[in-house]
Amino acid sequence: MPGQPRHLLRDDDLSPAEQAEVLALAAAMKAAPFEHRPLAGPQTVAMVFDKPTLRTQTSFAAGVAELGGHPMLVDGALAGIGVREPVADVARILGRQASAIAWRTFRQADLEEMAEHAGVPVVNALTDDFHPCQLLADLMTVLEHKPQLAGLTVAFFGDGACNMGSSWLLAGATAGMHVRISAPEGFTPPEEVFVRAREIAAGTGGSATWVADPKEAAAGADVVVTDTWVSMGKEEEAAARTEVFSPYAVTQALFETAKPEAIAMHCLPAYRGKEIAAEVLDGIQSVVWDEAENRRHAQKAVLTWLLSQSAGER
C-alpha cells in the first residue's frame, strides 16, 4: 500500500514554519545552484500540462535537471487525462514512473484526486483556483528586497477571483503579511479562501481584506501586484473583463500611491497598457524578471522539501 506523501496543492498546505523553511532552502539553492542533488540517479519528475506554459515548463525542467533528476514532459491532451482514462488511473501510472508529479490543469478537484492516488508528491503547477509555486517564487523575491515578510502590506489589483488572488491571500497570510485584494464586486476571491486566510492571519499577525477602491488599496503598500485580466480558459470573456477591470489597472499614478520604495510584481505573461502600464512593468521598481527566475529556485526547494518529508512514508 502506498503511504501518504506530502503535496503542494494549495498555498495553505505549508504551515508558516514550513513556508519559511522552503523559502530559506530556495535562497540557499539560488546561492549554490548545483550543490543540491536529491534527484541524482536520475530520478524522474513528471511535468503534466493541460494549459499553456512557458515559465512553469522551463523552470521545472531546468530545476529538476539542476537537482540531478530527469524532467519528463507529459502533454495532458495527448495523454487524455480524464478522457482516455480516469485521473486516478493516470495518477497510479505516473506514480510508478516518477518520483514526483507537477500538474497544470483546470479543476482543483482533479489535482486532489491525482494526489490521492499517485503515491508520490504532487505539486500544483497552476489550477483555476491556486498557483502556489508562483507564490513561493514571489515571496522569495519580496524577501530579496525587504528584510522580512511579516508586517508588509501587499495590494493585488484586478481579477481577485483568479488563482493569483486566492494564492496571495493564503500564502501572504501564512507569511504574516497584510493582503489587500482590490477588485470589482463579483471578482473577489471565494469566501472560503477569505475565511481560511483570516484564520491563518489570526495566528501570524497578518490580515486579509477586500478593498474595492484601488487608490485606498495602494496607499502605503510595500508590494503592488497584478495579473492578467483574462486568465487561461477565460478568453471568451476578454472584452467584458477589460471594461470591468479597467479602473484597477496598475498605472504609474496608482503605483506612486504606494510607498516610495514599493516593488511592482506580476507573474507574467503581462499585457502592457491593460492591467499594468509599461512604465511600471519595465520600470526600476519592477521585480518581474526576478520572480520569473525565482520560479526555478522555489520549485527546486519545494520538490526537495516534499520528497524529504515523504521519505520513509512510502
Residues designated as active site: 104, 131, 134, 227, 267, 295
Nearer to ligand NVA, 95 or 229 (CB): 229
Number of H helices, E strands in the chain: 13, 9
Euclidean distance between CA atoms 206 and 91, whole angstroms: 36
- Sheet-wide strand order for 223-226: 207-210, 178-182, 153-157, 223-226, 263-266
Q: Which amino acid is at 81?
A: I
Residue 40 beta carbon to ligand NVA: minimum distance, rounded to whole angstroms: 30
| DSSP designation for 74 | E
Residue 298 beta carbon to ligand NVA: minimum distance, rounded to whole angstroms: 14
Q: Which residue is nearest to ligand NVA (CB)?
A: 231
| DSSP β-bridge partners for residue 178 | 153, 207
Residues that bind ligand NVA (CB under 6 A): 131, 162-164, 227-228, 231-232, 267
CB neighbour list of residue 274: distance below 8 Å, 6 or more residues apart: 228, 229, 242, 249
Residue 231 beta carbon to ligand NVA: minimum distance, rounded to whole angstroms: 3
Nearer to ligand NVA, 117 or 241 (CB): 241
Residue 143 beta carbon to ligand NVA: minimum distance, rounded to whole angstroms: 21
Per-position DSSP letters for 54-67, written without gaps between them: SHHHHHHHHHHHHT
Nearer to ligand NVA, 131 or 180 (CB): 131
| DSSP designation for 189 | P
